[in-house]
A and B are shown apart, each in its own frame.
Chain A
């Protein structure tokens, strides 16, 4: 962690701006651009503030960066981006991407993403990431030049395709199961939370109606007038207080959402491992069958049924020269295959080792962050209760003076 970029550089996504421009298909579109500001962290003794560098990026560039990182570091649980479209909204929040509240929360989410990457011991050292932060022009071309798209396995895109792996690694199977559960439970939680927020909003806001009616009623009352009027004022305060409360809660929801998306990243690592294992097993299988073929050719015995075998029986056997040639080819292929298998095995073992190291790191981070989030939720509830106590204490006093 000592070498990670986050320690050496201050990174913020400080502003968001609406822009219009022409896209790749020459169609006019509106999008939001985000200002990334970076500044080298100077040691205290220097006492000078380094200049701030800044550049603008839009969401699609963030996506490109993340795709690049996912493909280039398949064994890493790559931090997720904030959601593309507003999801799990309760009615008062807009689901519109251009809504200023949504844009603001996305800005915070993007900053969080950059900080996560910059704090990751391996990812923070990536050149492309560094250039993303420091070089505005030509960055896209540089990313494409790395040729990472070629490395991307299109099979991974088919999320639901199953690869029948004969000897699955139990740890990865369990982890994949866990990531599915995590995704399911967090999205359920977020859905219900949104509904609870909706209802809570309703309760508070209806109390606001008291204010006006009390005020109108107080006009015809002699003794009750003052009490009613001031009680009404407190009801207005009560009704208004819910807006801030729920806005704060939205940040809590965003924290959970991050781990909802992290679960997806975790799952992706498991899938990659699965794929690797599958390829390995396929390669091993292929090698075995080639060896068998070799043996059959050499000894002339047909152990397994093959069309070639049948045809050669029917139409006469090959000439020794033909057989010799085939044998040679097969032997070469076997040689190749064995080397490939060896390197695949090595690759696999390396993958498992480094993946598991990152998974452990991720687990610790997740436990720490989620616990903090739950604590902050409790703090929010406490604050809400205290506000409620204050308002109703005041209201009670007014009522008792009626």
Chain B
């Protein structure tokens, strides 16, 4: 792990949080082999309209609308396999590099006179010196996570703070406190804290430490300290004001490229999220129909003699395939859907980070412009400008480093997630294949046995 307090420079061996196993350790990415020509510069995808092929016109057209309207993929009857929980707890990283282990579990409902809310248990195990103890257990509610996120954003405006799950799902069929919803949120909160723990800078943030270790009353009193709401609002107002004017015209090329990249990435990831949800929905509908399909064959076998066994065989195959498809669906729900959703949120975050960098630049630019106009109080201004120049340089470096790190992690996450989707589908087809092949073998063997059975009453 990087030394404490070091400004984030170019990433060294950055571990990938919750990402692919082991592959994240590459510090020097291989030169792209045969990369598409257009990859170097920004590819403006703004003009693209996603239209579907003619044969797919029964499927909905995926628009650029970023509303979360499509999140209706959670069926209350879908069991989440216990093994997936284990995966969430398993750290794909080399354990030797980590010295902070966090789990989020055990959601509990609290009912007071005013409100009902859920708290989650946050368990921290650490060997770090700056922690007084090696193990902590605290209870946190969603509000507390929001607080932590905003503190981190405040302290590190141009670092990429991991996404939090949304407050609530808008048009979904999910009840606010349904088990489904709580479980999804729990997993996302777990991921959130772990991503912070894996971040070379954020992991040493003081508020983070307090979040992990403070008892409820300690946290409340700590929250009350620090810049008040009004001053925070003032900061935002100033930031917005300066963003309106500046930060863009003097923007280094690198960040313009990042912006263009994020615009396209953002579009694509949103569409992918919708596609994944749609696939889940279709698979669930298929599963529902399949459930009825097998039993009909069994029913039929009751009126037959000679072909009863064949019919029962087919019924059993269909039932087994049905179960296999259920597993496939579960895989999607555990792996692909959460990751894509996380990166949808990430793309918003990244656009925000880029904006904040522009704002910081804007502050500098407006002061420089003012100096050019004023000519008096030169010394005072130049000191201020010097500070702002430092601020901009820090911000840019921080963002650059974090960007590279983020991209690497993203690549890792995508690779491992999609690979596991492919594996999931492979297992599904292999299972079905085995079932049908064994049925076929049973039908084409022992013709003599069949003749005997005809004689039996």
CB <8 Å contact, A378 and B275:
no
Is A207 positioned at the interface, with any CB of B under 8 Å from its CB?
yes
Contact partners of A375 in chain B: CB under 8 A: 310, 440, 443-444
Is B228 positioned at the interface, with any CB of A under 8 Å from its CB?
no
Is B314 positioned at the interface, with any CB of A under 8 Å from its CB?
yes
CB <8 Å contact, B45 and A229:
no
A357-402 interface (Cβ within 8 A of B) = 367, 370-371, 374-375, 377-379, 381-382, 385-386, 388-389, 392-393, 395-396, 399-400, 402
Q: Which of B32, B42, B62 sits near A209, CB closer than 8 Å?
A: B62
CB <8 Å contact, B59 and A224:
no
CB <8 Å contact, B422 and A395:
yes
- How far, in whole Å, are A189 and B301 apart by their CA atoms in the complex? 12
Q: Which of A196, A213, A229, A381 sits near B317, CB closer than 8 Å?
A: A381
Is B53 positioned at the interface, with any CB of A under 8 Å from its CB?
yes
Contact A202 to B286, CB < 8 A, known contacts A367-B307, A388-B425, A389-B430: yes
Contact A213 to B289, CB < 8 A, known contacts A374-B310, A386-B433: no
Question: What are the interface flags for B44-67 relative to A under an 8 Å C-beta threshold, 1 for contact and 0 otherwise?
Answer: 010010101101101100100000
Q: Which of A195, A222, A385 sits near B429, CB closer than 8 Å?
A: A385
- How far, in whole Å, are A207 and B418 apart by their CA atoms in the complex? 13
In the A-B complex, the 4 residue pairs with the smallest Cβ-Cβ separation, listed nearest first, are: A396-B422, A385-B433, A199-B286, A388-B429
- How far, in whole Å, are A210 and B279 apart by their CA atoms in the complex? 10
CB <8 Å contact, B35 and A185:
no
CB <8 Å contact, A382 and B436:
yes
Some 22 contacts from A to B, beta carbons below 8 A apart, are A185-B296, A185-B299, A199-B286, A213-B50, A213-B268, A216-B264, A220-B265, A226-B35, A367-B307, A370-B307, A371-B443, A374-B314, A375-B443, A381-B432, A382-B436, A385-B430, A386-B433, A389-B430, A396-B419, A399-B419, A399-B421, A402-B418
Contact partners of B288 in chain A: CB under 8 A: 199
Contact partners of B300 in chain A: CB under 8 A: 185-186, 189
- How far, in whole Å, are A388 and B432 apart by their CA atoms in the complex? 10
* Minimum C-beta distance from B96 to chain A (A): 25
Contact A203 to B426, CB < 8 A, known contacts A209-B59, A402-B415: no
CB <8 Å contact, B311 and A374:
yes
Is A67 positioned at the interface, with any CB of B under 8 Å from its CB?
no
CB <8 Å contact, B433 and A216:
no
CB <8 Å contact, A189 and B297:
yes
Chain B, interface residues (CB within 8 Å), range: 35 or more
Closest residue to A240 on the B side, CB-wise?
B55
CB <8 Å contact, B314 and A378:
yes
- How far, in whole Å, are A229 and B38 apart by their CA atoms in the complex? 13
Contact partners of A193 in chain B: CB under 8 A: 293
Is B384 positioned at the interface, with any CB of A under 8 Å from its CB?
no
- How far, in whole Å, are A195 and B292 apart by their CA atoms in the complex? 10
Contact partners of B436 in chain A: CB under 8 A: 378, 381-382, 385
CB <8 Å contact, B264 and A399:
no
Q: Which of B39, B286, B289, B440 sits near A379, CB closer than 8 Å?
A: B440
Closest residue to B411 on the A side, CB-wise?
A224
- How far, in whole Å, are A208 and B59 apart by their CA atoms in the complex? 11
* Minimum C-beta distance from A261 to chain B (A): 16
Closest residue to B23 on the A side, CB-wise?
A400
* Minimum C-beta distance from B323 to chain A (A): 15
CB <8 Å contact, A223 and B29:
yes
Contact partners of A178 in chain B: CB under 8 A: 303
Chain A, interface SS category:
helix
CB <8 Å contact, A188 and B32:
no
Question: What are the interface flags for B418-449 relative to A under an 8 Å C-beta threshold, 1 for contact and 0 otherwise?
Answer: 11011101101110110011011001100000
Contact partners of B310 in chain A: CB under 8 A: 370-371, 374-375
Given contacts A213-B272, A396-B422, 16 further A-B contacts (CB under 8 A): A195-B289, A199-B286, A210-B275, A220-B39, A220-B264, A226-B35, A229-B36, A378-B436, A378-B439, A379-B440, A381-B321, A381-B436, A385-B429, A389-B426, A389-B430, A399-B415
Contact partners of A224 in chain B: CB under 8 A: 411, 414-415
* Minimum C-beta distance from B380 to chain A (A): 45
CB <8 Å contact, A205 and B39:
no
- How far, in whole Å, are A392 and B307 apart by their CA atoms in the complex? 35
- How far, in whole Å, are A198 and B285 apart by their CA atoms in the complex? 10
Is A130 positioned at the interface, with any CB of B under 8 Å from its CB?
no
Is B34 positioned at the interface, with any CB of A under 8 Å from its CB?
yes
- How far, in whole Å, are A38 and B292 apart by their CA atoms in the complex? 44
Chain A, interface residues (CB within 8 Å), range: 35 or more
B357-395 interface (Cβ within 8 A of A) = none
Is A221 positioned at the interface, with any CB of B under 8 Å from its CB?
yes
Closest residue to B268 on the A side, CB-wise?
A217
CB <8 Å contact, B443 and A213:
no
Question: What are the interface flags for B247-291 relative to A under an 8 Å C-beta threshold, 1 for contact and 0 otherwise?
Answer: 000000000000001001100100110010011001101101110
* Minimum C-beta distance from A223 to chain B (A): 6
* Minimum C-beta distance from A110 to chain B (A): 26
- How far, in whole Å, are A188 and B296 apart by their CA atoms in the complex? 8
Contact partners of B115 in chain A: CB under 8 A: none
- How far, in whole Å, are A273 and B56 apart by their CA atoms in the complex? 53
CB <8 Å contact, A196 and B289:
yes
- How far, in whole Å, are A399 and B23 apart by their CA atoms in the complex? 13
Is A219 positioned at the interface, with any CB of B under 8 Å from its CB?
yes
Chain B, interface SS category:
helix
Q: Which of B282, B307, B317, B415 sits near A371, CB closer than 8 Å?
A: B307
- How far, in whole Å, are A152 and B443 apart by their CA atoms in the complex? 43
* Minimum C-beta distance from A103 to chain B (A): 21
CB <8 Å contact, B414 and A205:
no
CB <8 Å contact, B286 and A203:
yes
- How far, in whole Å, are A382 and B36 apart by their CA atoms in the complex? 38
Contact partners of A216 in chain B: CB under 8 A: 45, 48, 264, 268
Q: Which of B279, B418, B439 sits near A399, CB closer than 8 Å?
A: B418
Closest residue to A188 on the B side, CB-wise?
B296
For B30, B271, B282, the residue with the greatest tally of chain A CB atoms inside 10 Å of its CB is B282
- How far, in whole Å, are A402 and B416 apart by their CA atoms in the complex? 9
CB <8 Å contact, A189 and B296:
yes
* Minimum C-beta distance from B437 to chain A (A): 6
Is A182 positioned at the interface, with any CB of B under 8 Å from its CB?
yes
- How far, in whole Å, are A220 and B278 apart by their CA atoms in the complex? 25
Closest residue to A211 on the B side, CB-wise?
B53
Contact A91 to B58, CB < 8 A, known contacts A217-B268, A222-B32, A395-B422: yes
CB <8 Å contact, A203 and B48:
no
Contact A223 to B411, CB < 8 A, known contacts A203-B283, A205-B56: yes
Closest residue to B52 on the A side, CB-wise?
A209
Is B33 positioned at the interface, with any CB of A under 8 Å from its CB?
yes
CB <8 Å contact, B293 and A192:
yes
- How far, in whole Å, are A374 and B318 apart by their CA atoms in the complex? 12
Contact partners of B279 in chain A: CB under 8 A: 203, 206-207
* Minimum C-beta distance from B26 to chain A (A): 10
- How far, in whole Å, are A207 and B289 apart by their CA atoms in the complex? 20
- How far, in whole Å, are A202 and B278 apart by their CA atoms in the complex? 9
Closest residue to A196 on the B side, CB-wise?
B289
Contact partners of B42 in chain A: CB under 8 A: 220
Contact partners of B296 in chain A: CB under 8 A: 185, 188-189, 192
* Minimum C-beta distance from B124 to chain A (A): 33
- How far, in whole Å, are A379 and B444 apart by their CA atoms in the complex? 12
- How far, in whole Å, are A208 and B278 apart by their CA atoms in the complex? 12
Contact partners of B423 in chain A: CB under 8 A: 396
Closest residue to A200 on the B side, CB-wise?
B286
